[in-house]
Amino acid sequence: MDRIRVGVNGYGVIGKRVADAVHAQPDMHLVGVADIVTDWRIQSAVPRLPVFAATPDAHSGMVDTGIRPEGTLDNLLAQSDVIVDTTPKHVAAGNLPRYQAAGVKVIVQRLLHESGACRMIGCLSFVS
């Protein structure tokens, strides 16, 4: 069985939970996580997860603090079937064209109604 290759963009509170959940699924492969931070949050991921830099500035910052990123967000997208975006909604809305250009399916954690992105991808809201 081919496993679904999943990338997570945004490694904050929600992104960490998403990454952990994906990692635990037998039918999914966590390709890696991307972020812009270089602090303890992303440093805690380095020993156990592939870490990617979400922006060129983040890549430089990671290298400067001793983190060796696996690549950029574009590299993560190239290796993923699905990207889960857990970034703030204004960031997620800006990322949508990039995801579409990469041809990956996208799950957005934040509602994007205010940004106009719903017209681009369609939005659904649910409570479990």
Residue 111 binned pLDDT confidence (cut-offs 50, 70, 90): low
Taking only Cα atoms into account, the Rg of the chain, rounded to an integer number of angstroms, comes to 14
The mean of the pLDDT values for the chain is 88
Give the DSSP letter of residue 34: E
* 33 pLDDT above the threshold of 60: yes
- Phi/psi at 55 (5° precision): -140, 165
Over the stretch 46-58, which tens digit does the pLDDT of each residue have? 999 999 999 999 9
Count of helices and strands (H, E) across the chain: 6, 5
Cβ–Cβ < 8 Å for 110, 34 = no
**pLDDT-derived band at 74, boundaries 50, 70, 90:** very high
Q: Give the bridge partners for 32, in sequence order.
A: 7
State residue 72 phi and psi, 5-degree precision: -105, 175
Instruction: Give pTM, 2 decimals.
Output: 0.86
Residue 128's pLDDT band (cuts 50, 70, 90): very low
Residues 16, 21, 26, 31, Cα dihedral to 10°: -20
Report how far residue 34's alpha carbon sits from residue 53's, in angstroms, rounded to the nearest whole number: 5
pLDDT of residue 15: 93
